[in-house]
Structure 1
Amino acid sequence: MLTDAILGGVNYTLHRFPLDQKNRSLQAWDAADEYLLEHIANEYASAEHILVLNDAFGALACALPAKQLTCVSDSYISQLATQHNLACNQLEDKTVTLLDSLAAFPTDVSLVVIKQPKNNGFLAAQLEQLSSQLAPGTPVIIAAKAKDIHSSTLKLIAKALHEPITSLAQKKARLVFATTKPLPHARSVRDHAVSWPLEKTTFSITNHANVFSRDSLDIGARFFINYLPQGKKPLKVIDLGCGNGVIGLSVLAAMPNAKVTFVDESAMAVASAHDNVTTNLAERIADCEFKQNDCLQGFASHSADLVLCNPPFHQAQAITDHIAWQMFVEAKRTLKVGGELRIVGNRHLGYEEKLKRLFNNCRLIGSNNKFVVLSAKKEANPGVSYDF
C-alpha cells in the first residue's frame, strides 16, 4: 500500500487497514482530504475544536491543526487505523477523542468537517444531528469526489444545513460549504432508524441509518435464509458481518439451543442486530453476544461450531476481496475441528476456489443465477495458512 503522504505541507506515514491486505494500489488518504486540509490551513488555521465525521483511516486526525479533535466514525476499522496512524506519526499526545456513530456530538466545536459517506441516508442523519445539537451558524465543510456531489446531494444537504455552496473541482475532488441552522424537530442519528416486516415471518426488522440494505431485506440474505441450519443441536454460531442480524435471528428462531454471536465492524449494524433480537426474540437475548470488531480478531481459536457469513466485496469506495479473505482465514482459525463455514456470495466472485485453497474442501449447497451458498469444513490437519 502507498503510505507516504504530504498533507498540508507535512509528510505523514499513513496506513490503510487492515494492515495485512496486499493491494498495493490502495492508500489511506485521497484528493478530497488534500483539498480539505489546504482550505482549512488557509481559512481555519486557528480553529480550537474541530468535529470530524467519517475520516476513513485517520488522515484528517493526523493532519488537522486544531488543538482538539473529535472524530466520529461508524467503523471499528477506521478507529483502529486512526489510533495506529497517530502513533506512527508520533502524535499520541494530540487531543483526539474517538466516538462511534451513535454518540451525541460535542457542542463546543468551532468547525465541522465531513468526508461524504457512501450512504446518503447516513449523511442525512448526520447533518440533521449537527443542526439539532450545534449552535446555528457553525461552519460545516463536506469533502468528496467531484463525481459524488450531484444536485440531489446539494438538495439533501440543504434540508439540514443553511445554503450549501460548492467549490471548484480540484484533482477530481470538491468541497461543499454550509452552516448549521435551526430545525423544527431535533433528531439524532438514532431517530433515523427504519423498520419493516421480514417476509414470511412475524418479525419486524430495524435498521439504523448506515446499515447495508436499510429499507428491505437484501437479496443475498434472502437467498441465504433458505440454507441455514435447523434442529436442536447446541451449536455455538457466529453471524460474521452480521449487518442487521437477520441471519443470526433466523438461526435463533430455528435452533432453540443455539448460542449466537453477532459480529460486525459497524456500530450501527451491531446496534441494529441487538435491537432486532430484543424486539423479536427477547427470550433468547441471554443466548446472544453482540460485538463490534475487526472480523474475528481476539476470538479464541477452536471455539465455534458454525460461522455464517455474507461477505462484502468492497471497502468504502474500493472494490476488493481482502475483507472476504480475512473473514475466511479467521473463521477457519476460530472453528473447532469439524466446524463449518457457510457463506453466500455472488457467483462471479470465485469464492469456491478460495475456500478449497484454505479448507481443502468446499461443497455447493445452493445456487441461483446470481448467488451461490458454499460450505467448507475444518479438517483435523492444520492445512496451509494464506495471507489475504
Structure 2
Amino acid sequence: MITSAQLGGNTYHLHRLPLQQKNRSLQAWDAADEYLVDYINEHHADAKRLLILNDDFGALACAFNQLTSDSVSDSYIAIQAWQHNLKENNLNTEQLTPLTSLEPLADDYDLVIGKIPKNSGYLQHQLTQLSQTLKPGTPLVLAGKTKAIHNSTINLVERYIGPANTTLAQKKARLITATMHNKAQQSPFPKSWQLEGSAFTLINHANVFSRDSLDIGARFFSNYLPQSKKPIRIIDLGCGNGVIGLQTLVKCPEAEITFVDESAMAVASARQTILENLPDELHRCEFIHNDCLSGFNPQSYDLVLCNPPFHQQNAVTDHIAWQMFNDAKKVLRPGGELRIVGNRHLDYHEKLKRLFGDSKLLGSNKKFVVLSAKK
C-alpha cells in the first residue's frame, strides 16, 4: 500500500477512507493532484483565500494547508478524509472550512482550484454557483485525467466562467484554466420527473445517481419491496433520490423509514421527494448524511433495503457494498432482514452467505438478482 505522496516538493502520508477497506492498493491522490499543486505553486503563489472543489481524500487540503481555504464536496467520506489526513500529517485543521455541495459559497476567494467530477451535471451545478459568487478576474484551475476532459467539459467552463485553456498533458493528467468573466447564471437543478406507473414525482439534485430516469436496478427492486402493517423500523441505505423509501412508505403504512446516503445531494433529494409526494408522512422519516451506518445503534432496526454501488469516485471497488452488508448486520435486530438488489455477476450471495450464513433469492432476471438475508 502506497501512502507517501510527493506534492509540491513536500511529502504527505495520505489514506483513502474508509480505512478498513480491503483494497488498499488504491491511492488517495493521483497525477492530476500532483500537476495541480505544481501549477498553483508556480503560477499563483500569492493566493491567500482559496476555494477547493472535489478534493477526494484531502491531497489538496494538505498541500495548501498554509492558506485559508473553504473546501466543497458532496461526499461524506471525502469530508472525513480531509480531517483525517490533515491530522495524520500534523497540519492545522482550523485553516480549512468544509462545505457540503448545497451550502452557499463566500464571495472573497482570490483563487478557485479543484478536481473535475465524474458527473458533468454536478460540474455544471458547481460552475453556476461560481458564476453567482466569484468576483470578476478570479482565476479557476481544474484538474483531471486527460480522458475525462472532453470538449463538452471545456464548453461548460466557458459557458459559466469565461474563455478557457487546457494545458499539455502530464502523466495522463491535464488542467483547465479560466478567469471569471461571465454574468451570474442559474443552475438547472434540481430536476424532477414522474415515476413511471405512478403519480409520484422524483426530485433530483445534480449529483444524484441516475438523475434523469429510474435506474434499471431500482426499477427491478421495486417489484420486491416489503409489505407490512406492523410498526417496524426500516433503513433505505444508499437512498439516492428516495424512490425505494417512497414506495415503501406506501406499502408499510406504520413503518418508520431512515434514508441514508453518502451524498449530501442524495439525502436532500430524498427529503424533497417525500415532501413533494407524501408530506403527511414526513413524521415517519429521518434523513441522514453518513458513511453507511456508522454510529447507528446496534440491533435497532427490523429491515435494511439496499441497492449498493460498486464504485468509489472513479475506482471500481466492492468495499462499499461489503461495508453496507456488515453495517446492516450490526444494526439489525435478531430476525431482522437485509434485502438487496445487485448485478448477477457481483456474486453478492457469497458475501451474504459469509455474513448471515445463507441468503434467499427473491427474484432474478438476466441482469439483476434480489436477495434476502436474515440475522
Q: Give the TM-score taking structure 2 as reference length.
A: 0.98
Instruction: Give CA-to-partner distance per residue, 1:38-69, whole Å, 9 cap, x none.
Output: 00111111210110010000110000155201
Q: Aligned equivalents of 1:125 and 1:114: distance in 2? A: 14
Q: 1:320 matched to which residue of 2?
A: 317
Instruction: Give CA-to-partner distance per residue, 1:80-119, whole Å, 9 cap, x none.
Output: 0000001011113551000000011111101001200000
Please tell me whether the aligned partners of residues 293 and 327 of structure 2 are also in contact (alpha carbons under 8 angstroms): yes
Instruction: Name the amino acid aligned to 2:41.
Output: A
- Report the number of matched residues: 375
Instruction: Name the amino acid aligned to 1:335.
Output: L
CA RMSD of superposed structures (Å): 1.0
Instruction: Name the amino acid aligned to 2:248.
Output: V
Q: 1:106 matched to which residue of 2?
A: 106
Q: Aligned equivalents of 2:278 and 2:39: distance in 1? A: 51
Q: Aligned equivalents of 1:67 and 1:52: distance in 2? A: 11
Alignment of 1:187 with 2:182, yes or no, is no
Alignment of 1:46 with 2:46, yes or no, is yes
Alignment of 1:202 with 2:202, yes or no, is no
Instruction: Give CA-to-partner distance per residue, 1:200-240, whole Å, 9 cap, x none.
Output: 11111010000000111111000000000113121100000
Moved over 6 A (4+): none
Instruction: Name the amino acid aligned to 2:201.
Output: S
Q: 1:293 matched to which residue of 2?
A: 290
Please tell me whether the aligned partners of residues 70 and 99 of structure 2 are also in contact (alpha carbons under 8 angstroms): yes
Please tell me whether the aligned partners of residues 167 and 175 of structure 2 are also in contact (alpha carbons under 8 angstroms): yes
Q: Aligned equivalents of 2:296 and 2:94: distance in 1? A: 31
Q: 1:60 matched to which residue of 2?
A: 60
Deviation at 1:318, TM superposition (A): 0.3
Q: Aligned equivalents of 1:22 and 1:363: distance in 2? A: 26
Please tell me whether the aligned partners of residues 128 and 160 of structure 1 are also in contact (alpha carbons under 8 angstroms): yes
Q: 2:2 matched to which residue of 1?
A: 2
- Describe the SS at the equivalent of 1:6: strand
Deviation at 1:126, TM superposition (A): 0.5
Instruction: Give CA-to-partner distance per residue, 1:263-296, whole Å, 9 cap, x none.
Output: 0010000000000011100011000000000000
Instruction: Name the amino acid aligned to 1:194.
Output: K
Following superposition of structure 1 onto structure 2, how do residues 113-262 of structure 1 map, counting pairs within 5 Å?
113-183=113-183, 186-187=185-186, 192-262=189-259
Q: 2:266 matched to which residue of 1?
A: 269
Q: Aligned equivalents of 1:65 and 1:234: distance in 2? A: 49
Please tell me whether the aligned partners of residues 314 and 321 of structure 1 are also in contact (alpha carbons under 8 angstroms): yes
* Alignment gaps of 5+ in structure 1: 379-388
Instruction: Name the amino acid aligned to 1:181.
Output: H
Deviation at 1:186, TM superposition (A): 3.5
Please tell me whether the aligned partners of residues 51 and 113 of structure 2 are also in contact (alpha carbons under 8 angstroms): yes
Instruction: Name the amino acid aligned to 1:375.
Output: S
Identical aligned pairs, as a percentage?
60
Instruction: Name the amino acid aligned to 2:186.
Output: R
Alignment of 1:74 with 2:71, yes or no, is no
Please tell me whether the aligned partners of residues 46 and 66 of structure 1 are also in contact (alpha carbons under 8 angstroms): no
Please tell me whether the aligned partners of residues 295 and 330 of structure 1 are also in contact (alpha carbons under 8 angstroms): yes
- Describe the SS at the equivalent of 1:192: coil
1:351 to 344, 348, 352: 348
Please tell me whether the aligned partners of residues 220 and 344 of structure 1 are also in contact (alpha carbons under 8 angstroms): yes
Following superposition of structure 1 onto structure 2, how do residues 27-46 of structure 1 map, counting pairs within 5 Å?
27-46=27-46
Instruction: Name the amino acid aligned to 1:187.
Output: Q
Q: Aligned equivalents of 1:85 and 1:330: distance in 2? A: 24
Deviation at 1:137, TM superposition (A): 1.8
Please tell me whether the aligned partners of residues 67 and 94 of structure 1 are also in contact (alpha carbons under 8 angstroms): no
Please tell me whether the aligned partners of residues 83 and 93 of structure 2 are also in contact (alpha carbons under 8 angstroms): no
Q: Give the TM-score taking structure 1 as reference length.
A: 0.95
- Describe the SS at the equivalent of 2:162: strand
Please tell me whether the aligned partners of residues 162 and 182 of structure 2 are also in contact (alpha carbons under 8 angstroms): no
Q: 1:334 matched to which residue of 2?
A: 331
- Describe the SS at the equivalent of 1:24: coil
